[in-house]
Amino acid sequence: MTSIKPFQLEDLFNINQVNLDPLTENFNISFYSQYLNTWPNLFYKSTESTNNEEEVISGYMMAKTEGSLSKNELHTHITAVTINQNYRRINLASKLCLQLEKISEVQQTLFIDLFVKVTNELGRKLYEKLGYSIYRRVIGYYGKTMPDDRNKLDNDIDAFDMRKSLQLDKNKSTIRENGDKVYVLPTEIFF
């Protein structure tokens, strides 16, 4: 049976199976701690009970809120959503994302966004299925050096910034069509 529970600092000792994935980012303890201290309700895990009555962490969602409402920028940002290889394709990531959507509606943010590698087709499919669309392509976002040419596309290091507009954004002014053709440099984005 799957349960969704708050993430706790000691869970970091039990997420190797989830984090041993080339598309899952690993952070240092202070980064995880900052999320737990500042946005505890946006950091949660899915767990499965095994036959031995042990609990396995099958995935987690790590998110934050940022931006101000007055600038039309208040939003929820997904920093990581990832699922243990053994528990994929059973709708877990979708559930974790839909839970975030519910919380974000209550907290009245305008939209949810995330960065996903251009080559991460599964990630993109997940978000598209949930109603996210590409807002812009961030050139060289995952690269080792800071790019300076916004027209030099590179699938291996570019990111799509994807967004889903929420109820508070009545005019849908935080999303756009054909965002995959809008190229920006990392230095040109605040969030």
Question: Which chain residues interact with ligand COA by CB under 6 A?
Answer: 21, 23-24, 81-83, 88-94, 114, 116, 120, 122-123, 125-126, 129
Give the nearest residue (CB) to ligand COA: 93
Alpha-carbon distance of 111 to 73, in angstroms, equals 8
Task: Give the DSSP H or E segment for 122.
Answer: helix 121-129
Q: Of the two residues 129 and 172, which places its CB atom closer to ligand COA in the complex? A: 129
Q: How many CA atoms lie within 13 A of 175 on its CB side?
A: 21
Q: Of the two residues 9 and 23, which places its CB atom closer to ligand COA in the complex? A: 23
Q: Of the two residues 90 and 189, which places its CB atom closer to ligand COA in the complex? A: 90
CB 25 within 8 A of CB 68: no
Q: Of the two residues 23 and 69, which places its CB atom closer to ligand COA in the complex? A: 23
Angle between helices 121-129 and 92-107 in degrees, nearest 10: 50
Q: Of the two residues 20 and 69, which places its CB atom closer to ligand COA in the complex? A: 20
Q: If 0-12 CB within 10 Å is exposed, 13-18 middle and 19+ buried, where does residue 73 land?
A: middle
In the bound complex, what is the minimum distance in angstroms from residue 57's beta carbon to ligand COA? 12
Mention every residue, 6+ apart, whose C-beta is less than 8 A from residue 81. Answer: 59, 60, 61, 62, 93, 96, 97, 114
What phi and psi values does residue 183 have, to the nearest 5 degrees? Answer: -105, 130
In the bound complex, what is the minimum distance in angstroms from residue 110's beta carbon to ligand COA? 20
